[in-house]
Amino acid sequence: MHNLQDNLISILYAEDNPQDSELTLRSLKRHNLTNHLKLVRDGEEALEYLYATGRYSERDKTQIPSLILLDLKMPKVDGIEVLRQVRNNELTKMIPVVILTSSAEEKDIVESYRLGVNSYVVKPLEFGKFSDVASEIGFYWILMNKSIT
């Protein structure tokens, strides 16, 4: 069933780690950005949400998020594959994508930029810094960045 709340989603956040997602959500809430956020737990769910398939088959797929926050190391479908599919689809290829991950491996950074990621952020290990980074990402990409409408 189509959820009216889905029409208001501005951020699609794909994160499998509950602690990281909780901290990010709290940080975004400080900037009143969580009213327009959809949290999904793996790459498969992110793709189903974006393309209105599977458990989101009733969703209006023309309502696309303004930003995708994407973890790289997720079960089922990893963040690199989600990014690849987002960039290869006319409906989603212009959506800003920010990788928010614990991986600082150069091969992940290079591959992400090769596929067209807009920003690559390594999650800080310190609680306070992680919170600051999450809120700054949301603030910049949703409130400051001018995207194509």
pTM over cut 0.85 = yes
Angle in degrees, CA 97, 99, 105, rounded to 5: 145
d(CA 88, CA 91): 9
DSSP bridge partners of 28? none
Per-residue confidence (pLDDT) for residue 139, from 0 to 100: 79
> From the CB of residue 96, how many other CB atoms can be counted at a distance below 10 Å?
18
Contact residues for 96 (Cβ-Cβ < 8 A; gap 6+): 66, 67, 68, 118, 119, 141, 145, 147
* Nearest to 117, CA basis, from 132, 103, 131, 129: 103
Per-residue confidence (pLDDT) for residue 124, from 0 to 100: 87
Per-residue confidence (pLDDT) for residue 140, from 0 to 100: 85
Per-residue confidence (pLDDT) for residue 5, from 0 to 100: 47
d(CA 17, CA 54): 22
Per-residue confidence (pLDDT) for residue 143, from 0 to 100: 78
DSSP state of 74: -
Per-residue confidence (pLDDT) for residue 104, from 0 to 100: 93
The rounded average pLDDT for each run of 10 residues, N- to C-terminus, in the chain (149 residues) is 51 93 86 82 97 95 90 95 97 94 94 97 87 83 76
